[in-house]
């Protein structure tokens, strides 16, 4: 038996805009809780005993900044928005452990429509 791959990856956007930047960012000084969310997520996974089979990953901007703080869960392309510690608790218990996406926290489909395959993208670009 090989080393098991993770069942889930949780990509937490850790981008912070410099102070004074008008553009919103997922980690900001205006939202002190946003600075603690990655650590909170990691601690929670450890407490639950599922760290490793669930891999938290710090990422840069995923281009949905106005919906932040955001986190992408794979597999499934599930994008969660406006994260708080309470939402992380619910996402871990209901989605990661329970197997049901927490629909009420999922991004508006207008902002997260079906992907375009790279093959189709190349065709659209005339390449």
Rounded least distance, CB 28 to ligand FES, Å: 9
Q: Which of the ranges 59-67, 84-92, 104-112, 118-126 carries the binding residues for ligand FES, by CB under 6 A?
A: 59-67
DSSP three-state, residue 89 = helix
Query: Among 15, 43, 55, 84, which residue interacts with ligand FES (rule: CB under 6 A)?
Result: 15
Instruction: Sort 123 into a burial class: Cβ within 10 Å, 0-12 / 13-18 / 19+.
Output: exposed
Query: Among 12, 41, 44, 68, which residue interacts with ligand FES (rule: CB under 6 A)?
Result: 68
- Edge to edge, the sheet with strand 8-13 lists 54-59, 8-13, 71-74, 78-80
Site map (CB under 6 A) of ligand FES, residues 19-38, x = contact: ------xx------------
Query: Among 50, 51, 57, 62, which residue interacts with ligand FES (rule: CB under 6 A)?
Result: 62
Q: Give the dihedral sign, CA 51/55/60/65.
A: negative
Restricting to residues 77-116, which ones interact with ligand FES according to CB under 6 A? none
- The token duo for 96 is 């990661």
């Amino acid at each position: 038996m090989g080393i098991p791959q993770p069942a889930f990856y949780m990509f937490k956007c850790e981008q912070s805009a410099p102070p004074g930047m008008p553009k919103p960012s997922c980690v900001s000084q205006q939202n002190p809780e946003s600075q603690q969310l990655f650590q909170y997520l990691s601690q929670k996974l450890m407490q639950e005993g599922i760290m490793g089979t669930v891999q938290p990953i710090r990422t840069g901007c995923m281009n949905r900044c106005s919906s932040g703080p955001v986190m992408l869960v794979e597999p499934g392309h599930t994008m969660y928005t406006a994260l708080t510690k309470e939402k992380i608790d619910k996402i871990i218990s209901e989605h990661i452990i329970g197997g049901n996406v927490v629909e009420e926290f999922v991004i508006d489909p207008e902002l997260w429509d079906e992907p375009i395959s790279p093959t189709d993208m190349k065709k659209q670009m005339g390449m």
